[in-house]
Amino acid sequence: MENWRAKALEYFPTLQEMIEKQPNAMSLWIELALELEHVYEEKSPSDERIGQFYDYAAWCFKQPQTQSAETDLGTAVAVCFIEHIPLHKGISNDVYRWMSAGSFDGFENLFRYHLDDGQYKKFSDEFHAKKKHFKGTPRL
């Protein structure tokens, strides 16, 4: 079993069937991003569940880079999760709790993929304003 799949099963045991169906990490992260959207649509989103997505993303970014976008875990997280954060209001409004300011700034080009200059400035300003007052520990 691939290490990305085994680690995903550790983080998301209730998603075993979905995880086992995915042919590669890229398709897994597409499904995980959709699952996170569903978590935010719940009446009371679970911080524990939300944290698992960011923890798994952090783990993926720490893995060795590969030569193929299809197998590179960092690429999968970047294009299937990070660049889509600004598109979901619940996730984008809450990202300051889960992501460090350094990571956020490092992901600027990914966030700008779906945002024009004005939208990115608003997104960034809101993140940094909330982050300034947040005392929690980021996961990513």
Q: pLDDT in tens for each of the 140 residues of the chain?
A: 589 999 999 999 999 999 999 999 999 999 999 999 999 999 999 999 999 999 999 999 999 998 887 789 999 999 999 999 999 999 999 999 999 999 999 999 999 999 999 999 999 999 999 999 999 999 99
Q: CA-to-CA distance for 88 and 102, rounded, in angstroms?
A: 21
Q: Delimit the domains of the chain by residue range.
A: 3-133
Residue 1: the pLDDT is 56
Q: CA-to-CA distance for 1 and 55, rounded, in angstroms?
A: 20
Residue 70: the pLDDT is 74
Q: Give the residue among 16, 33, 17 at the shortest CA–CA distance from 82.
A: 33
* φ and ψ of 17, to 5 deg: -60, -45
Question: E strands along 10-131, which residues?
Answer: none
Per-residue CA distances from 46 to 51, 52, 75, 133 (Å): 9, 10, 27, 21
Q: CA-to-CA distance for 45 and 78, rounded, in angstroms?
A: 23
Q: Give the residue among 45, 78, 48, 43 at the shortest CA–CA distance from 60.
A: 78
CA dihedral 34, 39, 40, 46 (to 10 degrees): -150
